[in-house]
Amino acid sequence: MSVESLIAFNLVLMAAIASPGAALLYFIKTCVASGRTAGLATGVGLGVAAACWTLGALLGLESLFRFFPWTYTTLKIGGALYLIWIAVQTWRHARKPLTDTNRPKGRAFLSGLLVNIGNPKSMLFAAAVILVVFPQGLTGAEIGLIVANHLALEISFYSLFAFLLSSPPARRGYLSAKPILDRIAATLLGALGLRLLVERT
């Protein structure tokens, strides 16, 4: 494995992390609604799940999905239902004012973990990137380095954005338009969940 391969992997990952999707949308909402600590914990949960999918791709988990399609379908349906549940709760509480109590870190971490674990397409994406970027026959140390690198990149990205999005101006802006923004977020999250449910692959 070369340094160039790792750099190429990181560039693709950064583009994927920053692209609009369920993970980024949920993270942004958590940061502005629940504060920096909850945002950081959510980001760590998202990062751990994403790194686990990369580990799964490196270990050949896509073969399990190919031979036992029900495992992929079960994960996908579970993730879709969780996104829809988040969407419903967000819509229901759109007009409810925020309290000063921060969301528990453990709960925020678990929510972030579940959002990304419930999207097995992350593993298929990682597998596709890995096949293109890295040579075959990686050692255990190289696999560990790739996974640790992925986790560090995810946490760095979400930490930076947690500090930016949880700033007083961002929070004030969110509070002033909370009912509208929450319902937009709920609609998008619900649409993503429904898309996961109806997609064949």
| pLDDT tens profile 92-138 | 877 776 654 456 677 889 988 988 887 777 777 777 777 778 877 78
Answer for the pair 114, 30: CB distance below 8 angstroms, yes or no: no
Mean pLDDT (the chain) is 81
38-42, 52-56, 132-136, 147-151: least confident range: 132-136
pTM: 0.76
How much is the pLDDT for 101? 47
47 band by pLDDT with thresholds 50, 70 and 90: very high
Domain ranges of the chain: 3-198
| pLDDT tens profile 29-42 | 888 878 888 889 99
How much is the pLDDT for 150? 93
In this structure, what token pair is assigned to residue 13?
A: 């990952």
177 band by pLDDT with thresholds 50, 70 and 90: confident
9 band by pLDDT with thresholds 50, 70 and 90: confident
- The CA radius of gyration of the chain, in Å to the nearest whole number, is 18
Location of structure tokens 């596709």: 128
Residue 45: CB atoms within 10 Å = 28
How much is the pLDDT for 154? 92
Please, which residues have CB within 8 angstroms of residue 185's CB and are 6 or more apart in sequence? 25, 29, 87, 90
Three-state SS sequence of the chain: CCHHHHHHHHHHHHHHHHCCCHHHHHHHHHHHHHCHHHHHHHHHHHHHHHHHHHHHHHCCHHHHHHHCHHHHHHHHHHHHHHHHHHHHHHHHCCCCCCCCCCCCHHHHHHHHHHHHHCCCHHHHHHHHHHHHHCCCCCCHHHHHHHHHHHHHHHHHHHHHHHHHHCCHHHHHHHHHCHHHHHHHHHHHHHHHHHHHHHCCC
200 band by pLDDT with thresholds 50, 70 and 90: low
| pLDDT tens profile 66-90 | 777 787 788 778 877 877 888 888 7
Alpha-carbon distances, residue 56 vs 23, 35, 99, 158, 165 (angstroms): 19, 32, 39, 22, 31
Answer for the pair 129, 7: CB distance below 8 angstroms, yes or no: no
